[in-house]
Chains A and B, each alone.
Chain A
């Protein structure tokens, strides 16, 4: 973004990078029908996972990020599983999924423990006691190795969608065209 003024720089982090193992976690995974405890590793079946950490449901970047990802249609283009993660509760995720037409499951992590595991905590100025993940995207291979990581180093920030698309084209198989 070029706004003509400086935005907030975030400190260096020790987040997982390409070649490292993605820390496993279990959290309620919310779909349009129900939620249940699901582990990250259990989503790594036959295809890579794109884990998208995004600001809490209701913040405008949450809507922008998912609109952009849906428009790019990654899930129908590549052999890929996509899941989101924010600090919103399962109830908020349910509403967000319905109102914003989200077509991927969302992890709910109100205590922000996953962000701590991944060292991507974003303490929110002016919201005392609330922290959430920095905007971040991890492409995780079926053996739980990180293939690609992008973590915001300023705030606000949005994923580099073109770079992400190139990465997916490199690391993921294309979905067969449906006849």
Chain B
């Protein structure tokens, strides 16, 4: 974990029991990344916070202040995490 000590935790907007969100969680765990979970409501119309940060009401969505990246869709997020944090050092 030492290389993540200075990281700002990634914020993950998620829906309980959403498999796409769990996919991202698994990837965050794989790379031992610190993250904060913000749970939103099942109803799309109740997800204004996600719309405000990402432009869409879909989850998962992440905000990574370390890189200034905000992103939706689990496939994109997993690819981003692989590219950004997957390289061994």
Contacts and interface: CB of A to CB of B under 8 A. Distances in A.
Interface string B17-58: 000000000000000000011111100001011000000000
Contact of B37 (A33, A37, A91, A94): A37
Report, as a range, how many residues of chain B touch the other chain: 10 to 19
Report, as a range, how many residues of chain A touch the other chain: under 10
Given A34-B13, A34-B49, A90 B40 contact: no
Chain A binding surface, main DSSP class: mixed
A28 interface: yes
A33 B39 contact: no
Contacts, number: 21
A33 B40 contact: yes
Contact of B36 (A33, A36, A90, A94): A36
A36 to B, nearest CB: 5
A35 B36 CA distance: 10
A35 B37 CA distance: 8
Given A33-B40, A36-B37, A37-B36, 17 more contacts: A28-B39, A33-B49, A34-B13, A34-B38, A34-B39, A34-B40, A34-B49, A35-B38, A35-B39, A36-B36, A36-B38, A36-B39, A37-B37, A90-B39, A91-B41, A94-B41, A94-B46
Closest 6 CB pairs of A and B: A33-B49, A34-B38, A36-B38, A34-B40, A35-B39, A34-B49
